[in-house]
Amino acid sequence: MFRFDFGESEEMSGGLVPYHLRPNKAVDRYLFVELLSKVNRVVSIDSYTYVGFGGPFLEDFKLIHSYFGNKKMLSIEGNFNVWKRQTFNLPLTCIECFQQTSGDFIASYSIQGNAIIWLDYASPRELRVQVQEFESLLAKLQTYDVVKITLNANPDTLRARDSINKEGKRETTEERNTKRLQKLSGRLGEYLPQETTAEMMTLDDLPQVLCRVIEFAANKALRGRSEEVFQPLTSFVYSDSAHQMLTITGIILPGNEVREFFRKTAIRKWRLSATNWRTIHKIRLPELTAREKLFIDKQLPKSTGRQIQKKLKFLFDEDEEKSLEIIKSYVTFYRHYPNYHRVVF
């Protein structure tokens, strides 16, 4: 499945988005490393092959290598120009960059030993193919392999919120969400849960629907391996630019080892874990100036979000409650918040 699509405005090109400058995406990346450090208590992450969609900057590759020192890393890129750019920017000799689609990579999957694979999809139009690729990949993996999948969870890609009906009037919420559900059903087919309703076609509920889609695909992939399960570990939803994204990470485990795995890793005690298919943590961070960040950090970890908002004397959103939600998110994720600095070479 190609990671780019220039056909319509609703699409986004994964290879062209500057994710290295997006704070919410960066936090999701750091949380992935924190999760892997916990899994590392049971298996040796440094021995794993890491596979991802590196894009032109290969940020996740640099981060994972800096923490674990993995010596075998594979980047998959379908866009020829992005592939050429990433080979120019190659930061480490242990990274191999392949100019191929994710579908071709999965079809010919032949990695020996354990792997960590991040299917970092961007295009909402190819959702069904992306879910099928996840299912196909999972069926080929082995015990203790880790898979992360990122999907577009923006309901506006199903039907824009300002759409006009046949009478030339702006659609009601009911009309719009009914058409969104029809579009999603057409994209997902049998993967769409039967209990999905039009009322779920919202920013808050669409990620929950997609979680159930991934749960169904995972169960289907391992149907012939009754002694193994795909155990979810984390689930986050975040927005960078105009698109809301859902990201889920899990691991293949023997069913009789799940309890021992959680005992050794303490992942269930981690407040940012999501070890069932219903829990999703929201990452919604403000873009802070250096002065704002320093001011807020001096209040942490003891101050609450409401206390910090009072001391700031301004809001990050016109709505006071939304501003408070943003500050609370920062209080949760401040240790992972990226710092960008201007450097003159």
CA angle 119, 123, 124 (to 5 degrees): 110
Length of the chain: 345
As assigned by CATH, the class of the 19-154+203-283 domain is alpha beta
133, exposed or middle or buried, with CB in 10 Å at 0-12, 13-18, 19+? buried
- Note whether 286 and 316 are within 8 A (CB): yes
Q: Does 207 sit behind a cis peptide bond, omega within 30 degrees of 0 on the bond before it?
A: no
Confidence (pLDDT) at 281: 96
Q: What residues are paired with 77 via a beta bridge?
A: 99
Q: How far is CA 112 from CA 9, 50, 186, 236, in A?
A: 40, 12, 37, 30
Residues of the chain with pLDDT under 70: 1-21, 241, 340-345
pTM of the model: 0.90
Q: Are 319 and 326 in contact (CB under 8 A)?
A: no
Chain-centroid distance, C-alpha 255 = 25
Residue 295 CA to its chain's centroid (Å): 29
pLDDT value for 12: 43
- Joined together, the tokens standing for residue 337 give 């918040």
**Can you read off the two tokens belonging to residue 240?**
């960078």
H helix and E strand count, the chain: 11, 8
Position 51 scores a pLDDT of: 98
Enumerate the CATH 3.40.50.150 domain ranges in the chain, comma separated: 19-154+203-283
At 289-322, the pLDDT tens digits run: 889 999 999 999 999 999 999 999 899 999 999 9
